[in-house]
């Protein structure tokens, strides 16, 4: 298990703004040079504007100039390790994430390859000439 990412995701989860779902999620992503960025879910009274912890972590990395990401960990207080939503899987594919640790707060995990999470995905290479 990736202890560094798990600890970072658990810490980020404490900042979740989830007054509507009451479902706090934390995420941490590592760039290829080892730098770690974190995110939590941030909801809105206009529900559709809410954003998942995974995308907050990824967009934070991108906003700091880190485009080559590698591994992501997502955690919530669930019975089974948390599976990312489809939108987040698509964003993970865009930024080259190769493997994802699905986790719960108790530390149960499932390590999955991006190709398992989103097989036959539509990625940026399709648009390259
Ligand atoms: N959520 C995440 O942050 N990540 C996931 O992988 C699943 C769902 C958030 C979105 C929303 O704020 C709450 O959890 C309930 O769906």
* Catalytic status, residue 80: no
Q: What is the pLDDT of residues 41-56, one digit of tens each?
A: 999 999 999 999 999 9
pTM above 0.95, yes or no: yes
Looking at residue 103, its pLDDT comes to 98
Alpha carbon 88 to chain centroid, angstroms: 7
Q: What is the pLDDT of residues 61-113, one digit of tens each?
A: 999 999 999 999 999 999 999 999 999 999 999 999 999 999 999 999 999 99
Looking at residue 109, its pLDDT comes to 98
Alpha carbon 97 to chain centroid, angstroms: 10
Looking at residue 91, its pLDDT comes to 98
Looking at residue 47, its pLDDT comes to 98
Q: What is the pLDDT of residues 17-33, one digit of tens each?
A: 999 999 999 999 999 99
Ligand 1 pocket mutation pick from 76, 87, 97, 104 by most atoms within 8 angstroms of CB: 76
Looking at residue 129, its pLDDT comes to 76
Tell me if 91 CB under 6 Å of ligand 1. no
List all residues 6 or more positions away from 27 whose beta carbon is below 8 Å from its beta carbon: 9, 12, 38, 39, 40, 52, 53, 54, 56, 57, 72, 73, 74, 75
Tell me if 50 CB under 6 Å of ligand 1. yes
């Amino acid at each position: 298990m990736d202890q560094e990412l798990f600890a970072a995701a658990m810490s980020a989860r404490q900042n979740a703004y989830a007054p509507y779902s009451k479902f706090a999620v934390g995420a941490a992503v590592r760039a290829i040079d080892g730098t770690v960025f974190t995110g939590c879910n941030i909801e809105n009274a206009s529900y559709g504007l809410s954003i998942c912890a995974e995308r907050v972590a990824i967009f934070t990395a991108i906003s700091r100039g880190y485009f080559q990401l590698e591994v992501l960990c997502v955690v919530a207080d669930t019975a089974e390790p948390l599976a990312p939503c489809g939108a987040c899987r698509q964003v993970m594919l865009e930024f080259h994430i190769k493997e994802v640790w699905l986790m719960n707060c108790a530390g149960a995990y499932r390590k999955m390859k991006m190709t398992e999470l989103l097989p036959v995905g539509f990625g940026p290479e399709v648009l390259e000439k």
